[in-house]
Amino acid sequence: MLILAGKPLIAHTIEHARGATSVGRTFVSTDDEEIASISRFYGAEVVMRPKDLASDTAPSELALIATLDYLSATEHVYPDLVVFLQCTSPVRDPSDIDKAVRTLLDQDADSLLSATRSHAFSWRRVQSQWSSVNYDYQQRQRRQDMPEEFVENGSIYVLKPWVLQKFQNRLGGKIALYEMGYWSSFQIDSEEDLSLCEWVLQHESRKASLNKLPSSIKAIVFDFDGVFTDNRVLVSQDGSESVLCNRSDGLGISRLKEVGLPIIVLSTEENPIVAARCKKLGLEFHQEVSDKLATLRSLAQRLGTSLRNIIYVGNDINDLECIKAVGCGIAVADSSDQVIRAAKVTLASKGGEGAVREVCDLVIEGLGFRP
């Protein structure tokens, strides 16, 4: 339930599973009602775990077997494969799961573990003496000349159900290995690990976000409320309204304008605040828009480009059609769940708290300029 990169730790793994094409159904085994509630919110099914299988010493295998027994007894479901993901290893991608499954099938294996390549010189205490494990310290080899070694990273296990039943173990029969990158080796075993994994996720997320930008960017279109603002409104006694914006967004906009990209604001809002802010920033704007997608298509036609060359940034369900129609839909961090699921990129920043600046910096970097 600890928050990692803006969402509960377990949410990352649920989203990885649901994003993998090889996974049919995603279950969370837990004895905790709050974890169960969070898991359902992020789209997982929940199998409540018996208390005797929820202690610190209970092996995960028993919870896996209990889940399979539950599916068999209640639904007569017998899965071909079990994909076991540990939420304490949040640095993975849905494509890693699909590649791991494909590796097991291609190698006609019965079980699989994910691992990262190791170049470590390992030592172990044997009685009262220290002994080198994987090399002879008296004839030290160069790292590149040592045999290949891998460290189990705890991220992905794939297995045939009979392996669990026969061996009471996630691994058995013919074992395959799926190699993952260096960053996936970081796990969360203590609260101190959260900061490191958060940095890793942000680092990896930025690289992934850059790869999801259109190859040819012709325009950026922003929603206003909940993107330029924090989606709150201050109402005075006389009925006048005020909103809060972020000054750093203005600097990001000015730098992006230097690149020469059209930047347009599209809003359903009637309040003159939209016009006032956009005029101050020197942005083209369209407000009181009842059909955002129709207006977006009209803008693309006027610019002589396709929707696939446009980035759209939004936060709520009235942005959904535009998010889905463009080449890259971007959701601010506190967007509605539907928008986050539809968007190709989800920002680390919330609306009104630097989201616009984050988009500007991302696009500038994607175009080959340093933010």
**Model pLDDT for residues 216-232, shown as the tens digit of each residue:** 999 999 999 999 999 88
How far apart are alpha carbons 363 and 249 in whole angstroms?
13
Closest C-alpha among 1, 20, 12 to residue 42 = 12
pLDDT digits (tens, 9 = 90+) for 42-56: 999 999 988 888 777
Closest C-alpha among 85, 86, 36 to residue 189 = 86
Beta bridge partners of 311: 220, 328
- Percent of the chain with pLDDT strictly greater than 70: 99
Please count the CA atoms within 13 angstroms of the CA of 337 that sit on its side-chain side: 8
In the chain, what are the domains?
3-208 (3.90.550.10), 216-366 (3.40.50.1000)
| pLDDT tops 80 at residue 176 | yes
How far apart are alpha carbons 40 and 62 in whole angstroms?
22
Q: Under 8 Å CB-to-CB from 234, ≥6 apart: which residues?
A: 241, 242, 243, 244
Handedness of CA 161, 165, 169, 171 (dihedral sign): negative
Tell me what pLDDT residue 35 has.
Answer: 95
pLDDT digits (tens, 9 = 90+) for 86-133: 999 988 989 999 999 999 999 999 999 999 988 888 889 988 899 888
Do 166 and 74 touch, CB atoms closer than 8 A? no
Tell me what pLDDT residue 70 has.
Answer: 93
Q: Are strands 149-159 and 241-242 parallel, antiparallel or unpaired?
A: unpaired
Tell me what pLDDT residue 369 has.
Answer: 62
Tell me what pLDDT residue 371 has.
Answer: 44
> How much is the pTM?
0.64
- Percent of the chain with pLDDT strictly greater than 90: 58
| pLDDT tops 50 at residue 333 | yes
- In this prediction, residue 341 has a pLDDT band, given cuts at 50, 70 and 90, of confident
pLDDT digits (tens, 9 = 90+) for 268-294: 988 888 999 999 999 999 999 999 999
